[in-house]
Structure 1
Amino acid sequence: MNMMQRLALTAATSLVFTTAAFAEIVSETVEYTVDGDSFTGYMVYDDDVEGERPGILVVHEWWGHNEFVRSQAERLAKEGYTAFALDMYGTGKLAEHPDDAKKLMQATMGDKQALEARFREAMSILQDHETVDESRIAAQGYCFGGAVVLNMARLGLDLDGVVSLHGSLGSDIQPEQGAVTARILAYTGGADPFVPVEQVTGFVSEMTKAGADLSLTVFPGVKHSFTSKAADATSEKFGLPMAYNEEAANRAWEGTMAFYQDIFAQ
């Protein structure tokens, strides 16, 4: 797919903003459409920060656009960024059971044109926001969202950087040499069966062949969803191999903040 084809994927968007303020942070619920389907995102920024600042797209886990991804956007806003927690599934599409989450994830990942169109539309909305410097954009994702942002980097989207947190590292999208222009930061758990060591080594090989700028951290003994405090309860309820890890979560956050300071300073 060439660049003109990819640009054509993005449909005209109808936006509805609902604004709320708490402390110094302003939040906006953004209702928009992509190819006739409805989506609901969450824009957050610090109104006390003067002028335009970098924008960061935040992509949710396989459960869908929920409170966790909105809380991560709010943390980024408190760091001085404008964050847009986008919606990859569609308005109201949330899963409470892993089987339903898997179906939503597979349906979305299986339609690569829709996947790219949805991400591009959210990226355009963020770039058009009055607080954002459209030339400084990054993306971070969790679980399913980590896979999404890595695929957008593979497709060569104009992002300064992407951050994957316990996201799938494998993909059937194989970038050519020089295609990946975004810098990549990835964090994964060494005891995460969803991201086995073979996938990690394959990812490193893939990015090396593509000439990508990659930084990868593997936390020994750490399981899937290590940034989510709800992971322990979810594990107990459904018998899933996941667990919150405070040290890994804190190190990943601090590393991500340092990564953004570096890429946006250039």
Structure 2
Amino acid sequence: MNNDKHTAAASFSRPATLSLALALALANAQVSAEMQTETVEYEVNGKTFTGYMAYDSEADGKRPGVLVVHEWWGHNEFAREQAEKLAAAGYTAFALDMYGSGKLAEHPEDAQSFMKEATKDMDQVKARFTAAMELLQQHDSVDSDRIAAQGYCFGGAVVLNMARLGVDLDAVVSYHGALGSPIKAEAGKVQPRIHVYTGGADHMVPSDQVAGLVKEMQDAEADLTLVSFPGVLHSFTNPGADRIAEEFDMPVAYDEDAAGRSWEGTMRLYEDVFND
């Protein structure tokens, strides 16, 4: 594993992506010897952030890049694991940092505090997101014209807001993310295809948020696919959710079926948008 700090240089062309069957097989495989990972320190408005780049160094040509936005706990091992899964599926992935280096919550009160500071104004959210996006686009392995973003919980809300703001992304995926926002999508402004995966029993994402997002995106003429898993709670993609539920008495739970189906849907989305 290569853990050197990395400064990327831009160089662009267009490769072919892997077939869905091969991508899924690779995503479920262990990290190969060709997998490269880099811990990346970068600055946004004078503040230091720590991200994580993952890619297959043996793959030919340039490939699409995918940003991974962490849960409200901060940039943790789960976010890095998602980046590695994406790299195994044929993409270069960058697990970005929205809070700042060293800000990793161990208690919900800390997570809430970090999230409030990070989202105190939308200009700051966008600046932190787009700085990470530019780093990914500049990586030697990435085709800068083919970029997607996926987020979990807090991160799901972030990527949806970037779509609302008109950030130039090909696809956006939200897993158990908040769906309401003070920003409203405008007709003709939302560029990416959007997938939203939510739990039907998620107390943190109630049905009125689901209905509100559908109407908002219909009014904005956005391309939205929304999947609600019956009986599934918040944080269903994260195997660590059950420990969190027990430790902090929170209504969260891992669901293997929902996690697998949402990942498969994401891989189909990326294959479609990046091969258009």
**TM-score in terms of structure 2 length:** 0.89
Residue matched to 1:249: 259
Specify the code of the residue in structure 1 equivalent to 2:78. F
Residue matched to 1:53: 63
Whole-Å separation in 1 of the counterparts to 2:116 and 2:48: 19
Whole-Å separation in 1 of the counterparts to 2:192 and 2:130: 15
Residue matched to 1:175: 185
How many residues matched? 250
Matched, 1:17 2:27: no
Instruction: Give the alignment of 1:1-266 within 5 angstroms.
Output: 16-17=5-6, 23-266=33-276
Aligned-pair CA distance for 1:16: 4.0
Specify the code of the residue in structure 2 equivalent to 1:208. Q
Residue matched to 2:16: none
Write out per-residue CA displacement over residues 48-91 of structure 1, whole angstroms, 9 at most, x where no aligned residue. 21000000000000000000000000000000100000000000
The question of whether the paired residues in 1 share the 8 Å contact of 2:50 and 2:96 is answered with yes
Larger displacement relative to structure 2 (170-179 or 240-249): 170-179
Larger displacement relative to structure 2 (169-178 or 216-225): 169-178
What residue ranges of structure 1 are gaps of 5+ in the alignment? Answer: 1-14
The question of whether the paired residues in 1 share the 8 Å contact of 2:178 and 2:204 is answered with yes
Whole-Å separation in 2 of the counterparts to 1:185 and 1:198: 18
The question of whether the paired residues in 1 share the 8 Å contact of 2:196 and 2:225 is answered with yes
Whole-Å separation in 2 of the counterparts to 1:197 and 1:250: 23
Whole-Å separation in 2 of the counterparts to 1:158 and 1:67: 28
The question of whether the paired residues in 2 share the 8 Å contact of 1:169 and 1:199 is answered with yes
Whole-Å separation in 1 of the counterparts to 2:105 and 2:32: 28
The question of whether the paired residues in 2 share the 8 Å contact of 1:16 and 1:32 is answered with no
Whole-Å separation in 1 of the counterparts to 2:117 and 2:39: 25
Runs of 4+ in 1 over 6 A off after TM superposition: none
**TM-score in terms of structure 1 length:** 0.92
Whole-Å separation in 2 of the counterparts to 1:129 and 1:222: 37
The question of whether the paired residues in 2 share the 8 Å contact of 1:60 and 1:145 is answered with yes
**More contact order relative to length (CA 8 Å, sep ≥ 6):** 2
Question: Identity over aligned residues, as a percent?
Answer: 62
The question of whether the paired residues in 1 share the 8 Å contact of 2:5 and 2:38 is answered with no
Write out per-residue CA displacement over residues 132-160 of structure 1, whole angstroms, 9 at most, x where no aligned residue. 00000000000000000000000000000
Write out per-residue CA displacement over residues 189-247 of structure 1, whole angstroms, 9 at most, x where no aligned residue. 00001000001000100001111000000000000000000000100100000000000
Larger displacement relative to structure 2 (98-107 or 138-147): 98-107
Aligned-pair CA distance for 1:106: 1.7
Residue matched to 2:10: none
The question of whether the paired residues in 1 share the 8 Å contact of 2:42 and 2:48 is answered with yes
The question of whether the paired residues in 2 share the 8 Å contact of 1:138 and 1:161 is answered with yes
Specify the code of the residue in structure 2 equivalent to 1:218. S
What is the DSSP-based 3-state SS (H/G/I as helix, E as strand, rest coil) of the residue aligned with 2:6? strand
What is the DSSP-based 3-state SS (H/G/I as helix, E as strand, rest coil) of the residue aligned with 1:17? coil
Alpha-carbon RMSD across the aligned residues, in angstroms, is 1.3
Residue matched to 1:6: none
Residue matched to 1:8: none
Larger displacement relative to structure 2 (110-119 or 189-198): 110-119
The question of whether the paired residues in 2 share the 8 Å contact of 1:177 and 1:211 is answered with yes
Whole-Å separation in 2 of the counterparts to 1:16 and 1:168: 33
